[in-house]
A and B are shown apart, each in its own frame.
Chain A
Amino acid sequence: MTDTTLNPAAVAPAKVVRRDIGLKRRYAAERRFKIYGITAIAIGLFFLVALLYSVISNGYTAFWQTEVSLSVKLDEKVIDPTNKRATDPTVLLTANYPILVRNALAEKLGVSLDDKPAIRELSKLVSDGSRSQLRELVSGNPALIGTTQNLWVLTGGDIDSAFKGQIDLSVDQANRKVSDRQVAWMNTLAKEGAMAQRFNSGLFTFGASSRPETSGLGVALIGSLYMMLIVLCLSLPIGVAASIYLEEYAKKSRLTDIIEVNINNLAAVPSIVFGLLGLAVFINFFGLPRSASLVGGLVLTLMTLPTIIIATRAALRAVPPSIRSAALGIGASKTQMVFHHVLPLAAPGILTGTIIGLAHALGETAPLLLIGMVAFVANYPVTPLDPSTALPVQIYMWANEAERAFVERTSGAIIVLLLFLAVMNIGAIILRRRFERRW
């Protein structure tokens, strides 16, 4: 080697020939890979946008509900004709409130009470839900009887859809749910400002109902809240304890290998199987009530446990061994090492895994169908043992309804569910960013 370089003949040619080291090919490969990546992201984004667009464009109207403003005369002759309300409390509960609303509407539109067909069509303008609205008002304050109250009353579901322009009015009136006369009244009221869209608080407070305008997510929200609390309170401590034992204390053996494989398998078990398990064990064997959020919570706990265990073990394993050695080296016991050093460092990872597990559980539907949470529940569940539904199940039930107003409610409920999921996932990201430590 040295001989040749020293040879003047070999040094003489000054022209340097650049070697071909395949730079062009390498850069082309890099560009190609970048294009693949961008395409993949673009496809993903396209479908996300398409999904969000279809849900939001269908669902945003569910957050507004058409109501009509009426001066309702709380006539004593109608509410309590025999004047027995002081002794018989059922009088106020069973009074014929819809008549009061109908009369108020007839008066407002100038329709004669003797025109029976017109009155029948007129009464369909307002929702039957006005009955419970007036009942609550009057039984809450019986002194109002005899006075005239200005109230916003819900319109019927079809009128609501027509007012939102969701019903094609060019079709012959025999083939649509809203008659020409009703449309005319609707327009009169709208012109006077007596009919308008107002924020639909009922969507969050009402329970199940066969009328779209009085059905809401109230029961489902409470049911989901109970279930999330049960899942959190059970799966977090159980999952973390199991992971700490497996990761820090258990000696590697055939048994721990089997447990490890089974935990991973459990995470992949279809959720409907957990539903069957819950049905067999919690309802048939332990005799817990059907449709109860307690059972739902227990089933979802079983489903969430493997996720939390896997996330926790990964977080524990990510704590550098040097920290463990440091703690043991100054005489910390194993438990002190775990609880003073390893667990605090693993906490962000554990919390992130837990939140993602909870978000997963929040959206889970199939196991809840099997334990009877797909039920018509009109009253709020007071305890987790009372019948209730859950957000995704409510979506499933509404999706089966035919009325146009239920279609928008289905999408509205999806928006609510997605918002919850987004909040939880963003929370997980913030936690991770905030508490993540770098070494």
Chain B
Amino acid sequence: MNLMTERSLEKAVNDKMSAQVNTIKMQGKDVTVHYGEKQALFGVSLDVPEKMVTALIGPSGCGKSTFLRSLNRMNDTIEGCKIGGKITLDDEDIYNPKIDVVELRARVGMVFQKPNPFPKSIFENVAYGPRIHGLAKNRHELEEIVEKSLRRASLFDEVKDRLHEAGTGLSGGQQQRLCIARAIAVSPEVILMDEPCSALDPIATAKVEELIDELRQNYTIVIVTHSMQQAARVSQRTAMFHLGNLVEVGDTEMMFTNPTEKRTQDYITGRFG
């Protein structure tokens, strides 16, 4: 417990320093999303600063996952889903018809709620992305990318002796880190994480959280989470969603100590949600 507060104190100092220098990586302006007749998002405007962890919190069905999935156009795969407003990546509209969705997803990677490794070997799981995007010229380079990605996901030491065994044979936490390694293997600029720890036990969760904290140095991260503590531990900025609206957004420290909105305070203190 002591350790935790110490860590978060240190983090808070870091956060303050970084919050001022970081530029805007992704930006949503008046984003609306309809699933058929039902409207899921009502004009959300949110900036995602570069090389920071932005946490999206809010009760179930508030639209935070919907917003996350519209950042790399995963919503396109859902039939009857319509998106309005504007989302930019480096000031480029990602819903512009000229933008290739495949290239976008190579730049904005995603980690899902349930670990979903391919039913292939650990090596193949990580190598698949670089291979389809032609990131490695030969086998040797590919092996390097795989090792580097697994190391960054702090999984390499645990699996180095069984790279060619099935990825589905790993434990839940290892599988999720494998999925993170798979996402970073294609060198994305942004990583979206949709409740990455909800299917994991506390120890695996701690490892993944630690990993997220490290990844922030190189990547811009947006994470959806149900756990207030997790948002407080890993993120520098927090956005609170409710009923398809963005209630409040600000530095995590401020959100948790001194929220301006009553709904945020109620949610954080557990009065609803």
Do A and B actually bind? Answer: yes
Bound Cα distance A328, B119 (Å) = 15
Does B133 make an interface contact (CB < 8 A)? yes
Quick check: which of B55-63, B99-107, B203-211 contacts chain A, the rest being far away? Answer: B99-107
A322-B118 in contact (CB<8A)? no
Partner of B183, one of A252, A329, A340, A345: A329
Instruction: Give chain B interface residues in 101-115, CB to chain A under 8 Å.
Output: 102-106, 109-112, 114
Please state if B116 and A336 are interface contacts (CB–CB under 8 Å).
no
CB contact list, B65-82 vs A, under 8 A: 72, 74, 77, 79
B179 interface residue (CB < 8 Å to A)? yes
In the complex with contacts A322-B112, A336-B132, A331-B79 CB distance below 8 A: no
The answer to whether A113 has its CB under 8 Å from any CB of chain B is: no
Interface residues on A, range: 20 to 34
Beta-carbon nearest neighbor of B79 in chain A: A252
B117 partner residues in chain A, CB cutoff 8 A:
326
CB-based contact A330/B79 at 8 Å: no
Q: How far is the CA of A323 from the CA of B179 in the complex (A)?
A: 11
Report the Cα distance A340→B132, complex, angstroms: 10
The residue from B116, B132, B185 contacting A326, defined by CB atoms under 8 A apart: B116
B105 touches A330 (CB 8 A): yes
Contact B116 A323 (CB under 8 A): yes
Task: Point out the residues of chain B lying under 8 angstroms from A327, CB to CB.
Answer: 118, 128
Please tell me if A324 contacts chain B, counting CB pairs below 8 Å: yes
Q: Is the pair A331, B112 in contact by a Cβ cutoff of 8 Å?
A: no
Chain A contact surface mostly = helix
| B77 contact set on A, CB distance < 8 A | 324-325, 328
Shortest CB-to-CB span from B119 to chain A, Å, is: 5
Q: Is the CB of B118 within 8 A of A326?
A: yes
A325: chain B residues at CB < 8 Å are 74, 77, 110, 112, 116
- Given A252-B79, A345-B119, do A331 and B114 touch, yes or no (CB 8 Å)? no
Q: CB-CB < 8 A to A252: which residues of B?
A: 79
> Considering only CB atoms, which chain B residue lies closest to A333 in the complex?
B102
Residue of A nearest to B103 (CB): A331
Specify which of B111, B116, B119, B186 is in contact with A331 (CB 8 Å cutoff).
B186
B contact residues around A322 at 8 Å (CB): 112, 114, 116
Residues of B within 8 A of A331 (CB): 102-106, 109, 129, 132-133, 186
**B57, chain A: closest CB distance, angstroms:** 22
Q: Which of B103, B106, B114, B168 contacts A330 (CB under 8 A)?
A: B106
B168 to chain A, nearest CB (A): 7
Determine the interface band of chain B, counting residues with CB < 8 A from chain A.
20 to 34
A:228-274 near B, CB below 8 Å: 251-252
Q: Which chain A positions have C-beta within 8 A of B233? A: none
Q: Which of A330, A340, A341, A439 gathers the greatest number of chain B CB atoms within 10 Å?
A: A330
CB atoms of B183 and A330 under 8 A apart:
yes
Q: In angstroms, how far is the closest chain A Cβ from the Cβ of B40? A: 18
Most chain B C-beta atoms within 10 Å of own C-beta, residue among A320, A326, A333: A326
Is B177 interfacial (CB-CB < 8 Å)? no
- B64 at the A/B interface (Cβ < 8 Å)? no
Say yes or no: is A437 at the interface (Cβ < 8 Å to chain B): yes
Chain A residues near B133 (CB, 8 Å)?
Answer: 331
With a cutoff of 8 Å between Cβ atoms, the chain A residues found around residue B104 in the complex are: 331
State whether B102 touches A332 (Cβ < 8 A): yes
B74 touches A330 (CB 8 A): no
Compute how far the CA of A296 lies from the CA of B51 in the bound complex, rounded to whole angstroms.
66
Q: Which residues of B contact A320 (CB under 8 A)?
A: 116
* A330 & B182 in contact (Cβ 8 Å cutoff): yes
With both beta carbons as reference points, the residue of chain B lying nearest to A252 in the complex is identified as B79
Give, as a whole number of angstroms, the nearest-CB distance from A367 to chain B: 38
Q: Known contacts being A328-B105, A329-B72, is A323 close to B132, with CB within 8 Å?
A: no
Query: Looking at the complex, which one of A324, A330, A336, A340 makes contact with B186 (CB distance below 8 Å)?
Result: A330
Interface residues of B in 172-192 (CB under 8 A from A): 179, 182-183, 185-186
Please measure, in the bound complex, the distance between the C-alpha atom of A345 and the C-alpha atom of B179, giving whole angstroms: 19
Docked-complex contact A329 and B118, CB < 8 angstroms: no
Q: List 23 A-B contacts (CB under 8 A).
A: A251-B79, A252-B79, A323-B118, A324-B77, A325-B77, A326-B112, A326-B179, A328-B77, A329-B109, A329-B111, A330-B106, A330-B110, A330-B128, A330-B182, A331-B102, A331-B103, A331-B106, A331-B129, A331-B186, A332-B129, A336-B132, A340-B128, A340-B132
Contacts A323-B116, A331-B106, A439-B168 aside, 8 further interface pairs with beta carbons under 8 A come to: A322-B114, A327-B118, A330-B186, A331-B102, A331-B105, A331-B186, A333-B102, A336-B132
Q: Which residues of B line the A interface, CB within 8 A?
A: 72, 74, 77, 79, 102-106, 109-112, 114, 116-119, 128-129, 132-133, 168, 179, 182-183, 185-186
Complex A-B, nearest 4 residue pairs according to Cβ-Cβ distance, in ascending order: A331-B106, A322-B116, A329-B110, A331-B105
